[in-house]
């Protein structure tokens, strides 16, 4: 991605396995954690749902223009704004996630997510 080349499913397989292993460890140790990732497809998210009662997804939803503007403001990040279209092209919006509107200021978004999670 740092070379402006979109990842394929095969590229994501080891990454998803590592994230699943981390989630399994956190659940086994009864540790609360927040893991951020772009699980764009339902199949990716299914890989991470070790325990549906304890693993929750939050979908940070925003307009193409807003997300593109924020990507352009980031410095030293591996994903270039040019890849946004490829990411959105494969996005399968989650049906069972908390949806957070990212047009709100970050502090407001976090407050809403915490409320939805009951924390």
Residue from 16, 29, 34, 42 nearest 113 by CA: 34
Residue 87: the pLDDT is 76
What domains are defined for the chain?
9-117 (3.40.50.300)
The 3-state secondary structure of the chain reads: CCCCCCCCHHHHHHHHHHHHHHHHHHHHCCCCCCCCCCCCCHHHHHHHCCCCCCCCCEEEECCHHHHHHHHHHCCCCCCCHHHHHHHHHHCCCCCCCEEEECCCCHHHHHHHHHHHHCC
Specify the pLDDT at position 83: 67
- In the prediction, which pLDDT does 2 show? 44
Provide the residue-wise pLDDT of the chain in tens; the chain has 119 residues.
444 445 566 767 888 999 999 999 999 999 999 998 878 899 989 999 999 999 999 999 988 888 888 777 766 555 555 666 777 787 899 998 999 998 988 899 999 999 999 98
pLDDT given at position 6: 53
């Amino acid at each position: 991605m740092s070379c402006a080349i979109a990842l394929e499913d095969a590229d994501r397989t080891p990454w998803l396995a590592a994230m699943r292993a981390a989630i399994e460890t956190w659940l086994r140790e009864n540790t609360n954690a927040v893991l951020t990732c772009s699980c764009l497809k339902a199949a990716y998210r299914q890989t991470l749902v070790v325990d549906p009662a304890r693993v929750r997804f939050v979908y940070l939803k925003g307009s193409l223009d807003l997300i593109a503007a924020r990507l352009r403001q980031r410095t030293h990040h591996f994903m270039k704004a040019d890849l946004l279209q490829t990411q959105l092209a494969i996005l399968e919006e989650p049906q069972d996630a908390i949806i957070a509107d990212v047009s709100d200021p970050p502090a407001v978004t976090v407050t809403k997510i915490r409320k939805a999670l009951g924390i």
